Amino acid sequence: MNMTRSLLLRRTLVYAFMICTALLTVAPFLLVISTSLKTMNDINMDGPLALPHVFHWENYSRIWEVGNFLTYYKNSVIVTVVVVVLVVLLSMLGAYPFAFMKFRGKSIFFLIVLWGLTVPLDLIIIPLFNNLRSMGLLNTIWALILPQIAMNIPFSIFLLRGFMKDIPYALLESARIDGSTEAKNLYHIIMPMLYPPMVSLIVFTAIGTWNNFMLPTILIQNDALRTLPVGLNYFQTKFTMDYPMIATAAVVSALPAALAYIIFQRKIISGVMVGALKE
């Protein structure tokens, strides 16, 4: 009896603790959603915690007029899609020789990949800015796309190579004896077996590119080319005191990622984990 009671008490405590933490974690989002449906008057009168009396949905139609969020969406989508597609393509090609082919200088090439894993953007951003300027790419969408492809390649090659090496070598050997070419091997034998790491790679690269802030902040000065995080930051400096509008902007900016998370929840979670824990 005593035993079960203390057990019950402990379970209740654990649940209470977990629920409180979960609520605290989600609370900022709920507060922001509530604020996005108020006016500045409501906030002045009732404080920031009160629920809105009337839902001011018009904030959500006004936001498109005062901020260029549609443009920011469009840019973020373009940059993310192009970066993900090219990273997948280039790193698949790049990982294949590391896993299955013999060539001179393999260790040096692989050292470069390992080096690339720990390079922070800070180390390359200063010359990058000037190089892009002299190439005439500064303030174009390519200034966002090309460097981000490069920065994602080391991790992607590393990840895919790790998974490719788990594929039995005999499979390739027999295909080679049958006279298949390397390109065909990659396409017909290897690619179909890489489904889990591919999902992971796409999720990782997409989240990273979608949320990247430092690179576009530095390389883009033109409002028509801003991506979502940069656009939101620009917007908040323009509307410093208009909290409902900033809240609306935050909700509108979070929406695509939040929707993607809700829809692809399991894929995203397992993708992020495989990416982080492989080797």
Partner 1 sequence: MRQEAMPQQRRTFRRRGAEKTNPLAYLFLLPAFAMLALFMIWPALQTVYISMTNWDGISPKKFIGLQNYIHLFTDEPMFLQAIKNTLLWVVGGATIPVGLGLIFANLLVRGNIRFTKWFQMGFFFPQIISSVIAAVIWKWIYDPSFGPLSTILDHLGIARPMTGWLGNPDLVMYALFVIFVWGSFGYTTMLFTAALQSVDSQLYDAANIDGCSAWGQFWNVTIPGLRQTMTTVIILMTISSFSVFDIVMATTKGGPGYSSYVISYYVYTQGFIVNRLGFAAAASIIMTLFILIVSRTIIWMRERDQS
> Does 124 participate in binding partner 1 (rule CB under 8 A)?
yes
Q: How far is the CB of 97 from partner 1 (least distance, A)?
A: 4
- Give the integer Cα–Cα distance in Å for 12 and 114: 47
| Identified binder of partner 1 from the candidate list 79, 83, 128, 164, rule CB under 8 A | 128
> Does 253 participate in binding partner 1 (rule CB under 8 A)?
yes
Only segment of 54-62, 64-72, 188-196, 247-255 that touches partner 1 (CB under 8 A) = 247-255
Q: How far is the CB of 146 from partner 1 (least distance, A)?
A: 6
For 171-204, letters b (16+ CB in 10 Å) and e give ebeebeeeebeeeebbeebbeeebeebbbbbbbb
Look-up of token digits 């405590």: 13
Map the footprint of partner 1 across residues 174-233, applying CB under 8 A.
182, 207, 210-211, 213-214, 217-218, 228-230, 232-233
- Give the integer Cα–Cα distance in Å for 186 and 86: 16
The binding track of 257-276 with respect to partner 1, each residue x by CB under 8 A or -, is xx-xx---x--xx--xx--x
- Give the integer Cα–Cα distance in Å for 266 and 274: 12
- Tell me the residue type at 136: G
Map the footprint of partner 1 across residues 64-83, applying CB under 8 A.
none
| Identified binder of partner 1 from the candidate list 162, 175, 199, 267, rule CB under 8 A | 162
> Does 108 participate in binding partner 1 (rule CB under 8 A)?
no
- Give the integer Cα–Cα distance in Å for 92 and 197: 11
CB–CB of 272/200 below 8 Å? yes
CB–CB of 207/122 below 8 Å? no
- Give the integer Cα–Cα distance in Å for 153 and 117: 9
> Does 149 participate in binding partner 1 (rule CB under 8 A)?
yes
> Does 248 participate in binding partner 1 (rule CB under 8 A)?
no
| Identified binder of partner 1 from the candidate list 17, 55, 64, 195, rule CB under 8 A | 17
Only segment of 51-59, 64-72, 86-94, 192-200 that touches partner 1 (CB under 8 A) = 86-94
| Identified binder of partner 1 from the candidate list 73, 109, 175, 199, rule CB under 8 A | 109
Cβ-based nearer residue to partner 1, 222 or 265: 265
CB–CB of 213/138 below 8 Å? no
> Does 163 participate in binding partner 1 (rule CB under 8 A)?
no
> Does 63 participate in binding partner 1 (rule CB under 8 A)?
no
Q: How far is the CB of 57 from partner 1 (least distance, A)?
A: 20
- The residues, any chain, with a CB within 8 Å of residue 19's CB and separated by 6 or more, are none
